[in-house]
Structure 1
Amino acid sequence: MADIVTLTLNPSIDTSTSVDRVAPIYKLRCGAPHRDPGGGGINVARVAIRFGADVEALCAGVTGELLRRLIDRAGIPNRIIQVSDETRESFTMFENATEHEYRFVLPGPQLHEEEWASMPRRAWRPRK
């Protein structure tokens, strides 16, 4: 078992890109997208690994295999507990002209009682 185990019940797929200028109505032609696994525990695991810690990220997610591929690519050992709803996504747009960053965070899934129950008891104890 890893020295540090993080638990992310609401992970995300974080997509970022850039445009020259943000403007209403017009189609905004974006630069190439960059995707990262996200969510509090996953972000903590990524930083802990940079410091040489033995880490495992435990998270709930679905969205095909994209979340798993992103976590694997980030080099984070993991266990993903499948849930019935889609993994949330966030979208960050960097405006080159002003150097402003716009962050859009979509809501995550609501876990069902049986999904809570499937969490390893050591990692999570639901509040009563």
Structure 2
Amino acid sequence: MKKTITVFMLIIAVVFLAGCTTTSSVGQETARDSIRAHYEYHDDWSPGLGCYGKVTGYAYNAANVSVDTVALNLNLVNTKTGTIRDSRSVFIGPMGVGQSVTFESLLDGECLQDYRVDGFIVK
């Protein structure tokens, strides 16, 4: 009986976690004027959040002048349907000449779905 319950629980765990923990993307770039951003996306799962996407990266100012306010809009897009599942705006703030700023954000996804992240700089 214990053996059957253990096998059953393992099967449920594998089915529940399938599709959420293996997707990652190659680094992506976005730019607007002199502001550039590089980011990577990775699917993950946790008991508290369920399936989610984690975006990490950095933005940098390639100009010879400072920029007052910079933000990065991130969209979690379903690759099969093209619909946006979640969006976040990451506030970078003012950026000096040649300055680089790292960022991280979580996007809410659904298990067993394939996503990509589209990023757009707002200034």
Interval containing the TM-score (normalised by the shorter chain): under 0.3
Whichever of the two has the greater Rg, that structure is 2
Q: Which has the higher strand share?
A: 2
TM-score by length of 1: 0.25
